[in-house]
């Protein structure tokens, strides 16, 4: 049993690489997600996952580095998003949607000029965690290290900004610079994760484990621990599940999407558990 | 004028044109309420999370419209239930539902081989393959949804601007909310053949935002947004044919262009106005044109 779940699926090198990548992204997304959820930046993260797309599409056609292309487009949009959300006169919710679809459309237009349109688009949208190379893993690891160090250095300020934005401003912190920094860190995560799970599902790796942690955690530290555990656990279960389905039942399940589905299931379980606990507490309180 | 009308010569293109005009008008009108209530992210989630409905309908051989519409109801309910929890931000809940729904669609699709072509059509739209039946469905949805918005206009506007007063007057808030969300859902599902699941939100939000910049009145904005949406559909389709690029993306880009134009030319907050005003004084003006103290 343990052999079937732990050892056997990961005999082949490509599965080992997929597992390492999934664990790295689980830790990376788990930690970053806590800040994203506390700041309520789900929509901004969603926008950033789509705005890297034209960069990837252009890099793909030019045969240049996908990471570089994705980061260039992502960084440009992170700056634009920060400026848009600072300007309170436009409804930032609508402005984000317009920016997101504009960037994405440029990507689709670029890709639609290529002959292998459908195949390329499918790969970019859905990702291929089983085709991850050692080089990809090293890039993910380095990106993660950089982002985690920056987050650790800015931790106190980011938390203050999340819970008491007015105080943060009054104490002289440049909140606009901090917002831009956090948006750039999210961009780095998107760039690191996009090859594994594709543009649309990257958002899950940031939001879902952290949302689960928000339901269960009592402090920021416990939130972070829960978020990382959920991220890593989902990566492992998702890979094993898609492997077993393919070997035992000849059923192909996209690995990246299976990981996201496991995350969603864990979130739903946490939501139900929280609801039951609350119900019991109110009943005890009333009695 | 031949180069202008030539692309619309064939039956195929005329059908696509009709679909684009109808979808544009419908999206524009509904979009005003989406923008008013800041429901862009919810609309986005709806477009992504109904994806499994497309796959299931295709597998069962039933109408795709019906499949997405049925699954959309599930999505609406999921977001409403999750957002009601204290401590869970509604945008976080929306993000979780969006990703979970889309992942379910991807997993379902990956288990079926030889499905990729249809998927791409649904992700980025394929307006050139619309059937006469699709156009009839779109026309029906346009009449029903716009009719609904007109009939409930007063209530919707009051609820959007002053929800507390709306509730105090004894109106059923939750019922109206759900009716509006379902109207948005029908719009999203209807515009998928033209725009695809990912870009449908562009045709809903961009023309409405442009119209809101030009006018304060909600009713006027709805008419204006419908017109802009329909125009975006026509121009986008023409650009797509002329330059051989994806139709949904062309329409989305034209819609973004309309928004940019509105942003530049709006009285009071537009860039042109600010530049002109900047030459005389930096102070904001009151309604009488006097600098505010």
Tell me which residue in B34, B87, B98 faces A214 most closely, judged by beta carbons: B87
Q: B66 versus A99: which is more confidently predicted?
A: A99
Q: Calculate the alpha carbon distances from A60 to A50, A66, A69, B92, B140 in Å.
A: 16, 6, 8, 32, 41
Q: Does A223 touch chain B (CB under 8 A)?
A: no
Token digits of residue B52: 């499994």
Q: Does B48 touch chain A (CB under 8 A)?
A: yes
- The answer to whether B92 touches A40, Cβ cutoff 8 Å, is yes
Residues from chain B contacting residue A105 (CB–CB below 8 Å) = 199, 202, 248-250, 252-253, 256
- The answer to whether B249 touches B198, Cβ cutoff 8 Å, is no
Chain B residue with minimal CA distance to A210? B92
Q: Calculate the alpha carbon distances from B180 to A95, B33, B49, B187, B188 in Å.
A: 21, 8, 18, 11, 12
pLDDT tens, residue by residue, B273-286: 666 655 444 434 33
Q: Give me the mean pLDDT over the B221-250 stretch.
A: 90
Phi-psi region of B197 (alpha: psi -120 to 50; beta: other; left: phi over 0): alpha
What is the pLDDT, as a whole number, of residue B285?
A: 38
What is the pLDDT, as a whole number, of residue B283?
A: 39
Q: Does A123 touch chain B (CB under 8 A)?
A: no
Token digits of residue B196: 């695809």
Q: Would you tell me which residues 120-179 of chain B have a C-beta closer than 8 angstroms to some C-beta of chain A?
A: 120, 123-124
What is the pLDDT, as a whole number, of residue B287?
A: 39
Q: Calculate the alpha carbon distances from B110 to A16, A246, B101 in Å.
A: 22, 11, 14
Q: Give me the mean pLDDT over the B147-158 stretch.
A: 91
What is the least distance, in Å, from the CA of A108 to any CA of chain B?
6
Tell me which residue in B102, B206, B246 faces A112 most closely, judged by beta carbons: B246
Give the phi and the psi of residue B285 in degrees, each rounded to 5. -100, 145
Please answer yes or no on whether B205 and A98 come within 8 Å at the CB atom: yes
The candidate with the shortest Cα–Cα distance to A13, out of A123, A137, A122, A125, is A137
Residues from chain B contacting residue A258 (CB–CB below 8 Å) = 103, 107
Chain B residue with minimal CA distance to A117? B120
- Burial classification of residue B148, based on how many CB atoms lie within 10 Å of its CB (0-12 exposed, 13-18 middle, 19 or more buried): middle
Q: Calculate the alpha carbon distances from A161 to A98, A186, A188 in Å.
A: 26, 16, 21
Q: Give me the mean pLDDT over the B134-145 stretch.
A: 91
The one-character DSSP state at A7 is I
What is the pLDDT, as a whole number, of residue A31?
A: 95
Token digits of residue A113: 């000029």
Percent pLDDT > 70 in chain B is 85
Please answer yes or no on whether A43 and B208 come within 8 Å at the CB atom: no
Q: Give me the mean pLDDT over the B198-218 stretch.
A: 90
What is the pLDDT, as a whole number, of residue A151?
A: 94
Q: Residue B225 and residue B258: Cα distance in Å, rounded?
A: 10
- The answer to whether A208 touches A267, Cβ cutoff 8 Å, is yes
What is the pLDDT, as a whole number, of residue A238?
A: 93
Token digits of residue B229: 């949406």
Mean pLDDT (chain B) is 82
Q: B215 versus A89: which is more confidently predicted?
A: B215
Spell out the residues 6+ positions from residue B121 whose beta carbon is closer than 8 angstroms to its own.
B129, B196
What is the pLDDT, as a whole number, of residue B273?
A: 60
Whether residue B164 is predicted with pLDDT greater than 80 in this model: the reply is yes
pLDDT under 70 in chain A at which residues? 1, 87-91, 115-121, 284-287
Q: Following CA atoms A167, A217, A145, B98 in sequence, which dihedral angle do they give, to the nearest 10 degrees?
A: -90
What is the pLDDT, as a whole number, of residue A253?
A: 85
pLDDT tens, residue by residue, A252-277: 888 889 999 999 999 999 999 988 88
- The answer to whether A31 touches A148, Cβ cutoff 8 Å, is yes
DSSP per-residue string spanning A82-106: HHHHH-TTS-HHHHHHHHHHHHHHH
pLDDT tens, residue by residue, B28-57: 999 999 999 888 999 988 888 888 888 888
Tell me which residue in B94, B245, B256 faces A98 most closely, judged by beta carbons: B256
Q: Would you tell me which residues 41-100 of chain A have a C-beta closer than 8 angstroms to some C-beta of chain B?
A: 41-43, 45-46, 50, 89-91, 93-98, 100
Whether residue B289 is predicted with pLDDT greater than 60 in this model: the reply is no
Q: Give me the mean pLDDT over the B89-115 stretch.
A: 85
Spell out the residues 6+ positions from residue A31 whose beta carbon is closer than 8 angstroms to its own.
A148, A151, A224, A227, A228
Please answer yes or no on whether A109 and B245 come within 8 Å at the CB atom: yes
What is the pLDDT, as a whole number, of residue B280?
A: 45
Which range of A64-73, B59-68, B247-256 scores highest in mean pLDDT? It is B247-256
What is the pLDDT, as a whole number, of residue B61?
A: 77
Residues recorded for chain A: 287
Q: Would you tell me which residues 231-270 of chain B have a C-beta closer than 8 angstroms to some C-beta of chain A?
A: 244-246, 248-250, 252-253, 255-256, 259, 263, 269
Chain A residue with minimal CA distance to B106? A257
pLDDT tens, residue by residue, B4-15: 666 677 777 888
């Amino acid at each position: 049993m343990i052999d079937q779940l732990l050892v056997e699926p990961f005999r082949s090198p490509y599965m080992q690489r997929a597992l390492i990548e999934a664990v790295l992204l689980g830790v990376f997304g788990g930690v970053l997600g806590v800040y994203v959820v506390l700041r309520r930046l789900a929509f901004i993260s969603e926008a950033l996952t789509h705005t890297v797309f034209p960069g990837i599409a252009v890099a793909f056609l030019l045969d240049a580095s996908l990471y570089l292309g994705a980061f260039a487009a992502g960084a440009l949009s992170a700056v634009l998003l920060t400026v848009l959300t600072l300007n309170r006169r436009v409804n930032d919710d609508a402005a984000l949607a317009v920016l997101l679809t504009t960037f994405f459309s440029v990507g689709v237009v670029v890709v639609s000029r290529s002959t292998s349109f459908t195949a390329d688009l499918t790969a970019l949208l859905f990702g291929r965690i089983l085709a991850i190379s050692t080089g990809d893993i090293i890039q993910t690891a380095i990106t993660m290290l950089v982002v985690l160090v920056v987050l650790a250095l800015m931790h106190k300020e980011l938390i203050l900004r999340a819970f008491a934005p007015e105080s943060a401003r009054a104490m002289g912190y440049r909140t606009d610079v901090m917002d831009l920094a956090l948006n750039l860190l999210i961009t780095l995560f998107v760039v690191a994760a996009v090859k594994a799970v594709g543009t649309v599902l990257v958002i899950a790796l940031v939001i879902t484990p952290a949302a689960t942690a928000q339901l269960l955690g009592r402090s920021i530290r416990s939130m972070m621990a829960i978020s990382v555990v959920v991220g890593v656990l989902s990566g492992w279960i998702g890979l094993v599940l898609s492997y077993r389905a393919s070997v035992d039942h000849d059923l192909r399940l996209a690995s990246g999407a299976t990981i996201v589905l496991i995350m969603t299931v864990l979130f739903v379980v946490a939501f139900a558990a929280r609801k039951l606990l609350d119900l019991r507490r109110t009943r005890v309180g009333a009695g | 004028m031949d180069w202008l009308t030539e692309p619309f010569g064939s039956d195929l293109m005329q059908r696509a044109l009709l679909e684009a005009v109808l979808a544009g008008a419908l999206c524009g009108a509904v979009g005003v309420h989406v923008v008013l209530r800041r429901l862009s992210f919810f609309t986005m989630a709806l477009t992504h999370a109904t994806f499994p409905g497309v796959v299931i309908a295709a597998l069962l051989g039933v109408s795709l419209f019906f499949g997405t519409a049925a699954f959309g109801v599930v999505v609406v309910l999921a977001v409403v239930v999750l957002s009601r929890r204290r401590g869970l931000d509604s945008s976080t809940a929306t993000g979780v539902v969006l990703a979970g729904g889309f992942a379910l669609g991807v997993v379902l699709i990956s288990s079926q081989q030889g499905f990729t072509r249809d998927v791409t059509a649904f992700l980025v739209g394929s307006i050139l393959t619309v059937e006469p039946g699709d156009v009839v469905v779109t026309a029906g949805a346009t009449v029903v949804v716009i009719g609904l918005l007109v009939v409930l206009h007063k209530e919707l506007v009051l609820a959007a601007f002053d929800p507390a007063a709306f509730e105090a007057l004894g109106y059923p808030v939750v019922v109206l909310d759900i009716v509006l969300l379902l109207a948005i859902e029908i719009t999203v599902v209807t515009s998928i053949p033209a725009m695809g699941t990912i870009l449908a939100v562009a045709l809903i939000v961009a023309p409405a935002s442009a119209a809101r910049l030009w006018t304060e009145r909600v009713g006027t904005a709805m008419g204006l947004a419908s017109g802009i949406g329909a125009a975006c559909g026509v121009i986008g389709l023409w650009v797509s044919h002329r330059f051989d690029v994806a139709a949904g993306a062309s329409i989305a880009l034209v819609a973004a262009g309309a928004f940019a134009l509105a942003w530049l030319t709006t009285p009071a907050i537009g860039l042109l106005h600010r530049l002109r005003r900047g030459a005389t004084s930096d102070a904001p003006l009151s309604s009488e044109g006097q600098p505010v103290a």
